[in-house]
Amino acid sequence: MSVHPVVPKPGPGAPLPPPGRPSSGTPSSSRKRGHRRLLILALVVVLVIVGTITLAVFRSVPLTGSVVPTQPAIPASPVAAAPPSLQDTVEDILSEADEYRIGLALADVSGGAQRTFGDGDTFTAASTAKILTAAAYYHLVENGQASLDDAMGDYDAAFQLKAMVNDSNNDSWLLLMDAVGYPELIAYADSIGVTYDPEQNLLTAADMALILKELYAGELLDKDNTAELLSYMRDTNNEDLIPAGSRSGVDVHHKYGEVSGELHDAALLSYRGSTFALVIYTENPDGAPDDGQAQVIRDLTRAVEDALFPVVPAGK
């Protein structure tokens, strides 16, 4: 409670102040201080009201953690958010290339979304299956059952891994499969959720997309071995398929395969924080791959990227 000072009253002989003019005594100063207190109190009340309203508005918005700037053109889940038109576009391309058997699979590495187009049966996986062999050998290294320094052929295991993936060397592939063991390779594929027999070398496009997805997500290998294997999947000895169809700005890691009439490419495409696996398997019934298969792989790559990573005009 405020205590006001006691003001002495003027004595009997004190002159009265002139009419219409305030006296120069203490009562006038007290009134001024009172007015100031009222103004301050009113200001405080206003500030309290404004603060209460602001807090109420703030609390009405759900808290979702820190706000991270995003690119509006890139869907949070690219594969799941692909427009319905992607189905029509892909089917049009497949229809125009109906002389080939083609299977296409997409897998969003950030979630469980997966879509397949065309032929869902197995293909001879050719050299795309080298990624599975590489992952199986690295898995042995991580479990202490093998080493990158192990002698293998004329070199060590580390050399053979790079030669198998980056240069698609088949001798390196055979050495590494022998080092892993065929039964162990079958069991390792099964642990991923893939049915695979190295003697038959058959995979579906969806199988290969799953392998790439789990590799990139770090579900197969530790961080260092994942990074090393992915590094071998860049600037390979054949950049004429998915990399040639991919547009500027998209980061590509891939492994192509070619045998008899089979021509394939299996890639991880990353763009502005979104990554998805794109696997395109093609088979020419004539028994030899041709330029048409390479072109359809590039056409499908462009169609998929246009759907998943739409380009937004400047200023929007």
pLDDT of 20 reads 39
Alpha-carbon gap, residue 189 to 210, rounded angstroms? 11
pLDDT of 184 reads 98
pLDDT of 273 reads 87
Taking every pair of C-alpha atoms in the chain, what is the biggest distance, in angstroms?
131
Alpha-carbon gap, residue 8 to 132, rounded angstroms? 100
pLDDT below 50 — which residues of the chain? 1-30, 55-77, 80
Entry pTM = 0.75
Closest CA to 254 of 240, 270, 265, 262: 265
Tens-digit pLDDT profile for residues 158-173: 999 999 999 999 999 9
Quick check: helix, strand or coil at residue 202?
strand
Strand bridging mode 262-271 / 274-283: antiparallel
pLDDT of 311 reads 75
pLDDT of 65 reads 38
pLDDT of 76 reads 47
pLDDT of 113 reads 72
pLDDT of 316 reads 53
